Amino acid sequence: ESVSIGYSTSADTVVTRDFDPKVPYRQGFTVQQACSRCHPAMLSAPFKHGPADAGLCNLCHDPHASPHSAWLRKPRWGLCTTCHDEKASEVHVIAGYVKGKSHPTRAKHDPARPGKRFSCTSCHEPHSALTKDLYQFETRSRAELCAICHRKK
């Protein structure tokens, strides 16, 4: 007779399985292992975002019931500021380098990705990147990143 049991994966997710004592036990994939089967390069860069590196994919993603792009739990800006709440209210980037008090972090069109709205991921890669600041587009410096949208004429 089989019995349902629950166990935790390394990503603190409880998985329920039917267990038959006559059949040898075989553990399934952790969340990170399951995700990396389709996204093998997600953590290939030298600098990694802590939650992604820890295998906590479900902290940001809900692949079973999300209405948001990339199966995110919330829209991008709201998701990032859940943990990085200081970015919602402080001056972002460097005062003096941008017009106004701060570089916009949302509610604008993304010049580097036509048809998309500007968000944290317009500049920062949420999984892994070449810099500790997790800059997008495989850029290695802030000036190189800014030049993606702010080309000198």
- SS3 of 144, please? helix
Q: pLDDT digits over 66-105, tens only?
A: 999 889 999 999 999 999 988 887 777 765 566 667 787 8
Helix then strand then coil, in percent of the chain rounded to 5, is 25, 15, 60
Cα separation, 87 vs 89, in Å, equals: 6
- Residue 57: CA count within 13 A, CB half-sphere: 18
Q: Are strands 3-8 and 128-129 parallel, antiparallel or unpaired?
A: unpaired
What phi, psi does 19 have (nearest 5°)? -120, 125
Q: Count other C-beta atoms under 10 Å from residue 105's C-beta.
A: 19
Cα separation, 80 vs 124, in Å, equals: 10
The pLDDT of 121-135, averaged and rounded, is 95
Model confidence at 107: pLDDT above 60? yes
- Predicted TM-score (pTM) of the model is 0.74
Residue 123 · residue 131 · CB < 8 Å? no
The two three-digit tokens of residue 38, written as one number: 């389709």
Higher pLDDT, 59 or 96: 59
